[in-house]
Amino acid sequence: MILVVVSSIIFLDQLSKFLVVRFLQLNTPVSLIKNFFDITLVHNRGAAFGILKNQLFLFIAISFFTILFIYLHLKNKNNSFLLKICLSLILAGAVGNLIDRLRFGYVIDFLDFHVWPVFNLADSALTIGSLLLSWELLFNKNVS
At 143, the pLDDT band (50, 70, 90 cuts) reads low
User: Which residue among the candidates 13, 38, 100, 123 is catalytic per the annotation?
Assistant: 123
- Pick the catalytic residue from 13, 100, 109, 112: 109
The number of angstroms, rounded, from the C-alpha of 31 to the middle of its chain's C-alpha atoms is 23
The distance of Cα 79 from the centroid of its chain, to the nearest Å, equals 22
Chain mean pLDDT for the chain: 92
User: Considering the entire predicted model, what is its pTM?
Assistant: 0.90
Structure confidence at residue 49 as a pLDDT band (50, 70, 90): low
Handedness of CA 58, 64, 67, 71 (dihedral sign): negative
Higher per-residue pLDDT: 137 or 141: 137
pLDDT given for residue 50 in this prediction:
67
pLDDT in tens, 82-122: 999 999 999 999 999 999 999 999 999 999 999 999 999 99
Number of other residues whose CB lies within 10 A of the CB of residue 80 = 13
109 is catalytic: yes
Confidence of residue 1 (pLDDT cuts 50, 70, 90): confident
